[in-house]
Structure 1
Amino acid sequence: MSWICPKCERELKHINATHYCIKVSVDSLFEGRPAELELVFDKILAEVADWDDVLISTSKNCIVFVHKRTFFVIRPMQKQLELKFYSKTKPESPIIIKSTFHAGKYENSTRISQLTDLTMELFGMIKDSYILL
């Protein structure tokens, strides 16, 4: 059962969940950025939104995907989307630009800028993060 914050209208997992309480639209996060980034985001959203029990909300500078816990974050940058997701082991993939171990799991980052960057490998890593958390 989810809860919607009356101030920012963000959907959260439970009543009074700690969050950055500010009302932000997805559109505002893409203002002044290349249209291709929004197309890439829409493609990711179309895939991940269909997974069971996923809450999607916006924060000050990113879009947050929550299953039992936050498993995926997209931060629109000037010319790229920064994607952050988690894994049990350190990925040995060239698409990972940063991987740090924290609280028993790896926090992994990659950056993409076009539809061709969306590969089965990348979606597999995001799905693994969803299952992990």
Structure 2
Amino acid sequence: MPYTCPTCKRVLSGPNQYHSCFITDKETHLNKMNSEIEALYESLLSHLQSFDGIEIIYLKTCIQFKIGATFLSVYPKKDRLDLEFQLTREEDQFPIYICKRISKNRVLHRIAIAEIADFDQQLRNWLLEAYHTIKKR
């Protein structure tokens, strides 16, 4: 049953779900990035905004893209973006550097991208699959 945090008003899956109440803004995250990574983030953002019904939440350490639940977390760094998403299957190939089963039907994946060329069709397909994986819930 959904639970709304009384402090930050975020809707969570339950009262014991860990979260940060520290909400920030896009500019705070952009200030962490060099100009190339900022351009990469804007390309990623433009692509994701073509998905229906997404909500973007700028937290202290990451940017979450949600459709009810989070389908993508972006951890901005000065020289790269770390992307974390879930698929229903293991996709344990380069450039994925973490592939970890977290439940019977979910596998966590993490990838680092540092230039526009890294935002290729394969990554776009994985992000769309992650979106549909969470949207099915």
Which residue of 2 is the match for residue 107 of structure 1? Answer: 108
Which residue of 1 is the match for residue 123 of structure 2? Answer: 122
* Total equivalences in the alignment: 127
User: What is the TM-score when the length of structure 2 is the normalising length?
Assistant: 0.81
8 Å CA contact 2:72, 2:130 repeated in 1: yes
Q: Distance in 1 between matches of 2:61 and 2:48?
A: 19
Q: Distance in 1 between matches of 2:44 and 2:33?
A: 17
Greater mean deviation of Cα atoms: 18-27 or 106-115: 18-27
Q: Distance in 1 between matches of 2:93 and 2:120?
A: 12
Deviation of 1:50 after TM superposition, in Å, equals: 1.9
Which residue of 2 is the match for residue 89 of structure 1? Answer: 89
CA deviation string 1:39-98 (max 9, x = no partner)? 111111111112111111111111100013100011011311000111111114311111
Deviation of 1:7 after TM superposition, in Å, equals: 6.5
Alignment of 1:42 onto 2:79:
no
Which residue of 1 is the match for residue 80 of structure 2? Answer: 80
Q: Distance in 1 between matches of 2:55 and 2:11?
A: 8
Residues 6 and 42 (structure 1 numbering): CA distance in 2 closer, same or farther, change over 3 Å? Answer: farther
Q: Distance in 2 between matches of 1:74 and 1:40?
A: 12
Which residue of 1 is the match for residue 133 of structure 2? Answer: 132
Instruction: Please list, as runs of the form range in 1=range in 2, the aligned pairs for 1:14-53 lying within 5 A after superposition.
Output: 19-53=19-53
Amino acid at match of 2:26: V
Residues 53 and 32 (structure 1 numbering): CA distance in 2 closer, same or farther, change over 3 Å? Answer: closer
Q: Distance in 1 between matches of 2:89 and 2:131?
A: 14
Alignment of 1:98 onto 2:75:
no
What value does the CA root-mean-square deviation take over the aligned residues? 2.4
Deviation of 1:125 after TM superposition, in Å, equals: 0.2
Q: Distance in 1 between matches of 2:107 and 2:11?
A: 23
SS of residue paired to 1:121: helix
Structure 2: 5+ residue runs without aligned partners?
none
